[in-house]
């Protein structure tokens, strides 16, 4: 009887614990900003700002005054997912992905456009009018990629993809 009650209690406890964790009753853990302070209040940053001689350097120190500085007096990027720090990493990251996507899509479009007769030579000596058209069209690559993905032109059937015999 004692073992039956013990097994029942452990099952109820396990279910209650899972429910407790799934429903989010556990407090959220937030990491501190590791001793970072606003650069406008950082003593070492302010001493560096006083040594700025040119107008562009002074403007740069004013912009960085809104960032967070460490004990070294230098601005640090905060990459913790908080929307208040989106400009530190997320927005430049999205811009990087967009620009690299444009470059890749332009190259892909060019290779597809010159496919056929004399394609090898057009890969060596670039056909400038075709390349410029592909580069300008690449600005809308996210929409074009989504359209090709939904029409199954971007992907290939598994039966047409060669697989190593290993």
Q: Does one domain contain both 62 and 97?
A: no
Number of domains the chain is built from:
2
Which residue would you say has higher pLDDT here, 20 or 139?
139
Write the CA distances from 122 to 48, 104, 110, integer angstroms: 53, 17, 9
Pick from 110, 101, 92: which is nearest to 144 by CA? 101
List Cα–Cα distances, 12 to 1, 23, 25, in angstroms.
17, 16, 17
Tally of CB atoms within 10 A around 36: 16
CB 137 within 8 A of CB 104: no
> Could you tell me if residue 17 is inside a domain?
no
What average pLDDT score do residues 10-30 get?
60
25 inside domain: no
Q: Are residues 99 and 55 in the same domain?
A: no
Residue 34 and residue 72: Cα distance in Å, rounded? 13
pLDDT at residue 19 is higher than 90: no
Q: Count CA within 13 A, CB hemisphere, residue 63.
A: 8
Evaluate if residue 139 carries a pLDDT over 90. yes
Regarding whether 110 and 65 lie in a shared domain, the answer is no
On whether both 107 and 136 belong to a single domain, the answer is: yes
The pLDDT value given to residue 90: 82
Task: Determine, yes or no, domain membership for 161.
Answer: no
pLDDT at 29 exceeding the cut of 60:
no
Name the DSSP class of 45.
Answer: H
Q: Quick one: angle between helices 90-113 and 128-137, nearest 10?
A: 140
- Same domain assignment for residues 72 and 94: no
The residue that leads in pLDDT, 131 or 28, is 131
Q: Which domain holds residue 132?
A: 90-154
Widest pairwise Cα distance in the chain: 86
Answer whether 58's CB lies under 8 Å from 52's CB: yes
CATH of the domain at 99: 1.10.8.110
Task: Please indicate, yes or no, if residue 107 is contained in any of the structural domains.
Answer: yes
Asked if 104 and 56 sit in the same domain, the reply is no
Structure tokens that stand for 6 in this block: 């013990």
Among the three residues 47, 76, 105, which one is the final residue of a domain in this structure?
Answer: 76
Residue 134 counted as domain residue: yes
Q: Is the pLDDT of residue 25 over 60?
A: no
Which domain-ending residue is among 46, 76, 106? 76
């Amino acid at each position: 009887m004692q073992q039956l009650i013990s097994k029942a209690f452990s099952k109820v406890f396990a279910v209650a614990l899972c429910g407790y964790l799934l429903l989010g009753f556990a407090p959220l853990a937030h990491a501190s900003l590791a001793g970072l302070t606003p650069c406008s209040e950082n003593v070492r940053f302010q001493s560096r700002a006083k040594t700025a001689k040119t107008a562009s350097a002074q403007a740069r120190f004013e912009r960085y005054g809104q960032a967070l500085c460490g004990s070294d007096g230098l601005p640090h990027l905060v990459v913790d997912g908080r929307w208040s720090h989106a400009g530190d990493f997320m927005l430049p990251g999205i811009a990087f992905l967009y620009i690299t996507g444009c470059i890749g899509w332009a190259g892909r479009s060019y290779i597809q456009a010159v496919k056929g007769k004399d394609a090898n030579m057009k890969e060596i000596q670039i056909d400038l009018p075709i390349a410029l058209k592909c580069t300008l069209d690449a600005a809308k690559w996210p929409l074009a990629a989504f359209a090709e993905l939904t029409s199954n032109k971007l992907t290939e059937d598994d039966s047409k993809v060669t697989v190593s015999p290993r």
